[in-house]
Amino acid sequence: MIWNLFIKDTNNIGDAVCGPSLYFPNMIPFDVRNWKELPKTDTIILGGGGLFHLPSVDYNNGVYGHIEELLGHFQRVLLWGAGHNVHGETKIEYPDMSRFPLIGIRDFINKWNWVPDVSCMSPLFDHLPSPSEPTEPAYFCHREFNDKRFSLNMPTMYCEDTNFKEALNFISCHSIIYTNSYHGAYWCLLLGKTVVIDDAYSSKFFGFPGILTTFSDNGLIITPYPNFLNLCREINKWYYQKVKEII
């Protein structure tokens, strides 16, 4: 049996749609928070999502924390689109990864296989409305990290109050998106839009490929590569073949 562990049971739409089992066959989706319920002998695909929170005070001397436990429990753990996510940090530093037989991480750091978030595989990207004229900027955000700096007079959608189709429709219909959401930023780039991250509060925002421009107060402007959606899809298809080879 092949189980795919990600943050499945959540109202955060980005986390809910980032499991490869939602787009590729022969995998069973399972919420990562309940991993101890699964048999020890089964193969686990961990990801996507920002599941590596290290180094941070929640971990013992920079090791994996809960992922260390998971590695000791299962016979084989593969990574697919998992990412670094330490709040208050801009550097992406992973520990020893040799215990993972196959590594695909969403952070573009030229050290392991770069496997962008698998939500790019959704057919929803192929059926989005195209704005007929220039539109106003909008804000796609997490409620949890919304603060006074984001009290902007513009259309707003919260990650926790929407579904995938509504989120993509909202993003596609506005000229510029301001966001504090990893997936909000990623989906903008997939749609060829420049994205403004006014407060890059986590290391996860510094792993995107593209043209990154840093401005005051830890903000980022990211301009995507051409044909970014097709590139991300091709890499995920290639990685699926790698996964099939190893299992």
Read off the pLDDT of residues 16-34 as tens digits, 9 standing for 90 and up: 999 999 999 999 999 999 9
Domain boundaries, the chain: 2-118+232-246, 123-229
Q: Residue ranges of the alpha helices (H) in the chain? A: 13-16, 66-73, 164-172, 182-190, 228-246
pLDDT in tens, 68-119: 888 989 999 999 999 999 888 888 988 889 999 999 999 998 788 999 999 9
Higher pLDDT, 175 or 59: 175
Q: How far is CA 112 from CA 79, 97, 124, 206, in A?
A: 11, 10, 29, 16
Coil, helix or strand at residue 226: coil
pLDDT grade for 57, boundaries at 50, 70 and 90? low
pLDDT grade for 152, boundaries at 50, 70 and 90? low
Half-sphere exposure of 158 (CA within 13 A, CB side): 10
- Asked whether residue 133 carries a pLDDT value surpassing 90, the answer given is no
Say if residue 85 is exposed, middle or buried (CB neighbours under 10 Å; 0-12, 13-18, 19+).
buried
pLDDT in tens, 221-239: 998 888 999 999 999 999 9
Sequence-distant (≥ 6) Cβ neighbours of residue 210 within 8 angstroms: 189, 222, 223, 224, 225, 228
Confidence (pTM): 0.93
Q: Cα–Cα distance between 24 and 22 in angstroms, integer?
A: 6
Q: Which residue has tokens 């959704």?
A: 122
Q: Cα–Cα distance between 109 and 206 in angstroms, integer?
A: 10
Q: Which residue has tokens 């109202």?
A: 11
What is the bridge-based pairing of β-strands 195-197 and 219-223?
antiparallel
pLDDT of residue 225: 87
Q: Cα–Cα distance between 14 and 23 in angstroms, integer?
A: 15
